Amino acid sequence: MVIAIIGILIALLLPAVQAAREAARRMQCSNNLKQLCLALHNYHTAHNVLPLMRSWTCNSKDTINSKGPRNENHRSWIFALLPYLEQKPLYDAMDMGRSGLDNRVNAHSGVSNLSLLQTDLALVLCPSDPGSREHQISADEASTDHNDRWTSEGIQLAQTNYCVNTGDHHLGSGGSSGHAPGWGQCQTSSAPGCTIPGSQVRGVISRSGWSATFADVRDGLSNTFFAGECMSQFCRWQDWGFPNWALTGWPINHLNRELAQRPYQWSWSAANCITFRSQHPGGAQFALGDGSVRFISETIDFPTYQALSSRAGGEVATLPW
């Protein structure tokens, strides 16, 4: 009888303990996003613009999109923030004259650029998502061979749970909803309609080669996502040091269950994975341009959700409380 009573008490207490642990993890995750957003503010103060990200379609700020050379910078917006996140030694060890994927040992630091992007950083990992601790093969130039042919083999990089907001663009084909151009940027210089400058990206940092100033965020910093949660083990475009971005072409937590049950396949999940998602029940956390962090329900009105990811769409978007 006593054992039965103890069993009942444990069954009653366990959900409360689990809820308390998740609340603590969510608070830590919120603090991580807060620190990233404050670092973005410090970077903007120093440079009068948000940091650039260099990925597949590498181009200079606000010029026509075109695929860049294989020795392009290959570094994310998070890497640029390292000096503002108490990680300056890691930043200084990088040879900025070489690709971030270069595996040659740097003379001044004794390590390779690639090894730096394979460094695990606790400050960019959500404690509710243990799967993000495993290195995964990345995308774009990290998944091509020396002849620039796509391959299922590639370079493994350290992951993250936080992605920059590239805007309310659709993700190519597959039924996602949003503005053109797909993915927030043209893919190659020969792509149809590839005369769109980076400044037409509706988020705050493009997939590659353009970033906004605060003055460009005309909808208001408190009404615009700067970054949000993602799950890198579902998506090759979301490691901390190289490609790191998400769109709002799909609702929050789109296909979480399905992606969790599939093998890690970049060729299948490209148009389904590049969105915001989390392991927190019912939604995900976002950092807004004013430095605040909000938990957004996965049931949020979809047009409102997309409006919050456009920096100058002129929409009236009210954050749900």
216-234: pLDDT as tens digits: 999 999 999 999 999 988 8
Number of folded domains that form the chain? 1
Q: Is residue 87 assigned to a domain?
A: yes
pLDDT on residue 70: 45
**pLDDT over 90, % of the chain:** 51
Q: Is residue 318 assigned to a domain?
A: no
Secondary structure, 3-state, 173-187: CCCCCCECCHHHCCC
pLDDT-wise least confident of 28-42, 175-189, 202-216: 175-189
- Segment of 15-24, 35-44, 171-180 carrying the highest mean pLDDT: 35-44
Tens digits of residue pLDDT in 160-174: 999 999 999 998 767
Cβ-based burial of 121 (10 A; exposed 0-12, middle 13-18, buried ≥19): middle
Candidates 11, 268, 201, 232; CA nearest to 121 is 232
Residue 18 pLDDT > 60, yes or no?
no
- Amino acid identity, residue 11? A
Query: Pairing mode, if any, of strands 245-247 and 162-167?
Result: parallel
Residue 13 pLDDT > 90, yes or no?
no
Confidence of residue 29 (pLDDT cuts 50, 70, 90): very high
Residue 158 pLDDT > 90, yes or no?
yes
Q: Is residue 181 assigned to a domain?
A: yes
Residue 279 pLDDT > 90, yes or no?
yes
Residue 263 pLDDT > 80, yes or no?
no
Q: Is residue 294 assigned to a domain?
A: yes
Domain residues for the domain of 53 are: 2-307
Better pLDDT: 242 or 208? 242
Mean pLDDT of 116-127: 95
Confidence of residue 121 (pLDDT cuts 50, 70, 90): very high
pLDDT on residue 287: 98
Better pLDDT: 314 or 153? 314
pLDDT on residue 16: 52
Max Cα distance, the chain (Å): 76
Tens digits of residue pLDDT in 45-96: 999 999 988 765 444 444 444 444 444 578 999 999 999 999 999 999 999 9
pLDDT-wise least confident of 19-28, 55-64, 197-206: 55-64
Q: Is residue 321 assigned to a domain?
A: no
pTM here? 0.87
- Amino acid identity, residue 52? L
Candidates 290, 273, 191; CA nearest to 239 is 273
pLDDT on residue 185: 74
What is the C-alpha separation between 114 and 105, in angstroms, rounded? 9
Q: Is residue 317 assigned to a domain?
A: no
DSSP code of 294?
E
pLDDT on residue 32: 97
Residue 109 pLDDT > 50, yes or no?
yes
Better pLDDT: 192 or 262? 262
pLDDT on residue 64: 42
